[in-house]
Amino acid sequence: MVYLDNSATTKPWQEVLETYQEAASTYFGNPSSLHRPGSEAETLLNKARESVASLLKAKPNEIIFTSGGTEGNNLAIKGAAIEHRKRGRHLVTTTVEHPSVKEAFSQLEAFGFEVTYVPVDKEGRVSPEDVENAVRADTTLVSIIHVNNEMGTIQPIEEIGKRLEKYPKLYFHTDHVQGAAHNPLDLHEAKVDLCTISGHKFHGVKGTGALFMKEGTVLSPLFHGGSQEQTYRAGTENVPGITAMAKALRISRERLAAEEKRLYQLRDFLIDSLSDIKGAEVNTPKRGAAPHIVNVSFPGVKPEVIIQSLTKRQYHLSTKSACSSKMQEPSAVIKAAGLGMERAESAIRASFSFDTKEEDVKKLIEVLNEIIPEMKKVMGAERS
């Protein structure tokens, strides 16, 4: 099996699963309880918080544990907008955000907030100047994805952060889910107030995540109940999952230091090889893109047909964001980048992990060179 859908989810590493199992069986107490099992669980939770904070170059009290990227994005966006609605109801984002961000803003619009959607260029990249120009006196939040989950484009978060620093009354949030393991941000250097990560994107277990919340930031909670996570995220903490996520993030950073160059070489090899397939249109830019995502269109061929044909041969890719891949609609990201409806309707995505090998990519190219011409013949015959 060749698994190339790591932007949707990654396979948990064995050592991460072992950490999860040990924490679940040995440190099963509720970390809010006063007895010894509770104190032991709380100690483990605190160690995990310190580890994640250190890896993100943050303080432990700036880490709020969540269930993943969707919850983290919703807490950051809705929490900031609702808490500061008396100061202003204008929000800024882009046209290429993940569905968990896009839908959060849509709901806020239904609640009477005004949202400015800043456009992107043909590489899916937003202009820092355009972002700043969208800011108004009543703007309370700017949210920009770091690494685009479909095209792999890296947004200029650091430059945007520097521009927004002159507007101290607004918050700056970034969806760092795709970048945390492959393109780490220095959050304080980027002047970010809120930042989302998700454990299952870097070989942790599903249902784990964290929101970096800069000291002094105030949000309205989504959940109400106990005082867990500084009252910003009520509910008993998932200590085994959090501990496993901390370990997965540490291992990911270690492997990135050793393998970043190899991943970029593998990505460039795939882009060059896809470009040689007749009719293929590569959507991922070589410049300023992450090392683990390659998006390509085959105009005239339905992407779901390609995916099904590949999966029958044990090659597993995806069409767009896993959150919306079963909806047979054109890619909103490809459309927003102005690459045309044909490319938006026929885009597929390959995404690597640190475990992806050159042999895997070479075999994928061989299979695509075999099936794409056949599919184009069939589609051509159907149209005639």
Question: In percent, how much of the chain has pLDDT > 90?
Answer: 91
pLDDT of residue 186 exceeding 50: yes
For residues 71 and 93, is the Cβ–Cβ distance under 8 A? no
What is the rounded average pLDDT of the residues 61-70?
98
- 2-6+258-383 matches 14-250 in fold: no
Pairing of strands 194-198, 209-213: antiparallel
- pLDDT at res. 13: 98
More confident residue, 172 or 322: 172
- pLDDT at res. 97: 98
What is the rounded average pLDDT of the residues 130-150?
98
Question: Which tens digits make up the pLDDT trace of 328-355?
Answer: 689 999 999 999 999 999 999 999 999 9
**pLDDT class of 181 with cuts at 50, 70, 90:** very high
What is the spatial distance between Cα 238 and Cα 260, in angstroms, rounded to a whole number?
A: 31
- pLDDT at res. 381: 45
What is the rounded average pLDDT of the residues 138-152?
98
Domain 2-6+258-383 top-level CATH class: alpha beta
More confident residue, 383 or 91: 91
What is the rounded average pLDDT of the residues 353-372?
95
User: CA–CA distance from 99 to each of 71, 225, 287, 294, 329 (Å)?
Assistant: 12, 27, 25, 19, 13
For residues 318 and 310, is the Cβ–Cβ distance under 8 A? no
What is the rounded average pLDDT of the residues 126-153?
98
pLDDT of residue 384 exceeding 50: no
Q: Which H or E run contains 123?
A: none
- Whether 195 is catalytic: no
> pTM for this structure?
0.94
Chain-centre distance for alpha carbon 45 = 24
Across the chain, mean pLDDT equals 94
Question: Which tens digits make up the pLDDT trace of 286-314?
Answer: 999 999 999 999 999 999 999 999 999 99
What is the rounded average pLDDT of the residues 250-278?
97
Active-site option among 277, 305, 323, 375: 323
For residues 151 and 283, is the Cβ–Cβ distance under 8 A? yes
Question: Which tens digits make up the pLDDT trace of 11-31?
Answer: 999 999 999 999 999 999 999
Question: Which tens digits make up the pLDDT trace of 72-108?
Answer: 999 999 999 999 999 999 999 999 999 999 999 999 9
What is the rounded average pLDDT of the residues 171-197?
97
Pairing of strands 347-351, 293-297: antiparallel
The alpha carbons of the chain give a radius of gyration, in whole angstroms, of 21
Beta carbons within 8 Å of 37's beta carbon, 6+ residues apart:
27, 28, 29
What is the rounded average pLDDT of the residues 275-287?
94
**pLDDT class of 37 with cuts at 50, 70, 90:** confident
- pLDDT at res. 355: 96
DSSP-assigned letter for residue 29: S
- Output the DSSP codes for 148-159: -TTT-BBP-HHH
- Structure tokens belonging to residue 343: 């490319």
What is the rounded average pLDDT of the residues 37-45?
93
- pLDDT at res. 99: 97
Helix axis angle, 303-312 relative to 358-383, nearest 10°?
A: 130
DSSP-assigned letter for residue 318: B
User: Is the CATH code 3.40.640.10 the one for domain 14-250?
Assistant: yes
pLDDT of residue 173 exceeding 70: yes
Q: In which residue are the tokens 């149209």 written?
A: 383
Where are the extended beta strands (E) located within the chain? Answer: 2-3, 63-66, 90-94, 114-118, 139-145, 171-175, 194-198, 209-213, 281-282, 293-297, 315-316, 347-351
- What residue segments make up the domains of the chain, in order of their start? 2-6+258-383, 14-250
